[in-house]
Amino acid sequence: MSAIQLTNVRKSYPDPSTGQRVPILDIPAFTLPTGKHLAVRGTSGSGKTTLLHCISGMTLPDSGSVSVSGTDITRLSESDRDRFRANNIGYIFQSFNLLDGFTALENVQLGMQFADKKKPVSRAKDLLNSVGLSGRLHNRPSQLSVGQQQRVCIARALANDPDIILADEPTGSLDPKTSAEVLSLIKELTAGKTLILVSHETEVLAQFETTIDLSELNEVVSA
């Protein structure tokens, strides 16, 4: 069984000024085997984030099917998609999406509440230790460096031990040294899992055996 299979996925957004729908994705077929690591590159605005949103079920395509670990998530209700994501997919956001009212530890623990199989609360601490933040458990995101915030996001994405990790430009806001550290952490902690990582950085892409340009999948030619 493939980890991810997209068939005839189309997604468009309305142009805010004209209201006309602008096609972003038209992907006839895309399959990623279980356990594979893939880096996706592409020009700015070409639809990389939209692709990850469709795979994670945060966005529904206009048409087509998105099968994740054998489940067509486009057929699920919104709440079932959210539950499915909590159980099966870890998402590392480009802009972190951490809650500043909560500590690093609480941010990781929050996501653990939505999984069907509850992991012990101590897992959040263990994960934060493994990303090098043992001394920062009780810091809020605004009390952390950008690199440290990204490490919290990695721990949060792994909290429910999902089989699939989606990472959207996870090193985009980091300096080269921190970027290299964070990337090797992601690769180490996702060994054996299915990973799609979006990036336009040559140094990052060079660390992947398999990379693909979104334009190779997508029949929409971006402007």
Ligand X SMILES: Nc1ncnc2c1ncn2[C@@H]1O[C@H](COP(=O)(O)OP(=O)(O)OP(=O)(O)O)[C@@H](O)[C@H]1O
Residues found near ligand X in the complex (CB under 6 A):
13, 24, 42, 44-50
* Least distance between ligand X and beta carbon 50 (Å): 3
Q: Which is nearer to ligand X, 56 or 69 (CB)?
A: 56
- Minimum CB separation of residue 59 from ligand X in Å reads 8
- How near is the Cβ of 180 to ligand X at its closest, in Å? 20
- Of 7 and 215, the one with the shorter C-beta distance to ligand X is 215
Q: How far is the CB of 94 from ligand X (least distance, A)?
A: 6
CB of 169 to ligand X, least distance (A): 6
Kindly tell me which of 42 and 141 has the beta carbon lying closer to ligand X: 42
Q: Which is nearer to ligand X, 52 or 68 (CB)?
A: 52
Pairing relation of β-strands 164-168 and 89-92?
parallel
CB closer to ligand X out of 48 and 81: 48
User: Based on C-alpha coordinates, what's the Rg of the chain?
Assistant: 17
For the bound state, the minimum distance from the C-beta of residue 188 to ligand X, rounded and expressed in Å, comes to: 25
Question: Amino acid identity, residue 171?
Answer: T
- Specify the residue, 165 or 198, whose C-beta has the smaller distance to ligand X: 198
How far is it, in rounded angstroms, from Cα 32 to Cα 160?
A: 21
Min CB(129)–ligand X separation in Å: 31
Q: How far is CA 131 from CA 176, 177, 220, in A?
A: 18, 15, 38
> Which residue, 88 or 218, has its beta carbon nearer to ligand X?
218
Write the DSSP string, the chain: -EEEEEEEEEEEEE-TTT--EEEEEEEEEEEEETT-EEEEE--TTSSHHHHHHHHHTSS--SEEEEEETTEEGGGS-HHHHHHHHHHHEEEE-TT----TTS-HHHHHHHHHTT-SSPPPTHHHHHHHHHTT-GGGTT--GGGS-HHHHHHHHHHHHHTT--SEEEEESTTTTS-HHHHHHHHHHHHHHTTTSEEEEE---HHHHTT-S-EEEHHHH--S---
